[in-house]
Copies of this chain bind each other. A is one copy, B any other.
Amino acid sequence: MSGQNTAPITVGIYGAAGYAGQELVRLIAGHPGAQLVFATSDQDAGQPVPGVDLLYKAHNDAGPGSAQVVFLSMPHLASAPLAAAAYAGGTKVIDLSADLRLDTPEAFQQWYGAPHPAPELLPVPYGLPEINRAQIAGAPIIANPGCYPTATLLGLYPLLEAHALSESAPIIIDAKSGVSGAGRKPTATTHFVEVFGNLSPYNIGRTHRHTGEIDQEIGRRNGKTGPVIFSPHLLPVDRGLMATIYVTLATPWAATALQSLYEETYADEPLVKVLPKGQQATLHHVTRQNHGAISITPATDTHVVIVSVIDNLLKGAASQAVQNFNLMFGLPETLGLLS
């Protein structure tokens, strides 16, 4: 493996005690081409970082310059200034927050209700390798996609590229996510008693902030589609994310042609598995694993149901970030990700 014969790349992780941050620490600690040099958590500063021989630093005490690359697993608005500082100092940046995902400050203002904290950085490559690999390779800074957009875009990509979708019918994404997607901060929403035995839709229609990100990436790849309708639900599981996607095709497709389209599109993608015809993707296909999985079911000859699943903390966050890291540094794309 190419990563083993050279000095490891030094890595810093901001926000390392959150759920995605913990996964990043674990993945980087086991990565043969990387060396973790610092991990921040303001709340846990001075405590040992589980599984590695480091203590958490407060994020203000961690100079990005001590690392060749930083992963930012920080809240939006807090992340972009760190990205700007790291970038200015020559450190590469993989931003897992939402700050750099939208191409323009205007779009950020629209969806996040605040002025962009570092508009001079925009736009940056959107870090979904299966769709945007060429832009990511060697880039100094990338925006790691949101969990919902990752599952959604992987599920739609073959049809978008084939320009197979109706230009007017809506793209409907009924999404369900485990609770770790809501972050580690205790809230009424994440209280065990409120979640147990429950299922809760939230921000449905066109109000969830990931809608803007999905809109942008669909638009970038396809001239014209109907509106995106996106309905996330909170699932009573710790992790895992499913997007059940309903699309209308511009013209009739045979079931076998659809299946082939997906199988061919992802034939060489080790981190996206297309299930055989007749199998349905479930959370158990992907939880605690680095890859996503997709199943395709025609309902009529012009209506298709696509089920796309990922682990929200892995392909939806940390392992996708490591995939981007590998691409940015010219390492084998799945180094540290395939057992």
Contact code string A186-213 (vs B, CB < 8 Å = 1, else 0) = 1110111111111111101110000000
Most-contacted residue by chain B among A170, A197, A200, A231 (CB, 10 A):
A197
| Size bracket, chain A contacts | 35 or more
- Taking CB atoms, residues of chain B closer than 8 Å to A288 are 288
- A323 touches B (CB below 8 Å): no
Asked if B196 contacts A248 (CB within 8 A), the reply is no
Choose one: B170, B196, B204, B284; the contact of A179 (CB below 8 Å). Answer: B196
Choose one: B179, B231, B300; the contact of A192 (CB below 8 Å). Answer: B179
Asked if B199 contacts A282 (CB within 8 A), the reply is yes
- A240 touches B (CB below 8 Å): yes
- A287 touches B (CB below 8 Å): yes
With contact pairs A170-B303, A204-B297, A248-B170 given, residues A283 and B186 touching in the complex (Cβ less than 8 Å): no
Choose one: B191, B200, B229, B298; the contact of A280 (CB below 8 Å). Answer: B200
- Taking CB atoms, residues of chain B closer than 8 Å to A188 are 186
- A131 touches B (CB below 8 Å): no
Contact code string A126-147 (vs B, CB < 8 Å = 1, else 0) = 0000000000000000000000
Q: Can you name 7 extra interface pairs (CB under 8 A) apart from A170-B299, A229-B299, A235-B235?
A: A169-B248, A184-B191, A184-B193, A186-B188, A197-B237, A197-B240, A206-B300
